[in-house]
Amino acid sequence: MMLPDDFLMLGMHQDKTLKLHAVDVNTCEMVISKDIPIPYDDVEGLTMPKAVCVP
């Protein structure tokens, strides 16, 4: 998902942890990384309200 300021958000899962990352598409550098514990071990998709991504 594209975020404001040309950041690309992506997620990966490992065991019961969701790993969210934001990459600056202009520099190809990871600018944010966050591990979120979740009760699931096989996440296939994420959703969030559109308002979260709109400044």
Share of the chain above pLDDT 90, in %: 0
**Domain ranges for the chain:** 2-39
pLDDT in tens, 33-55: 888 888 876 666 666 666 655 55
CA angle, 20 then 22 then 25, to 5°:
150
Give the model's confidence band at 16: pLDDT under 50 very low, under 70 low, under 90 confident, else very high.
confident
| C-alpha to C-alpha distance for 30 and 49, rounded to whole angstroms | 23
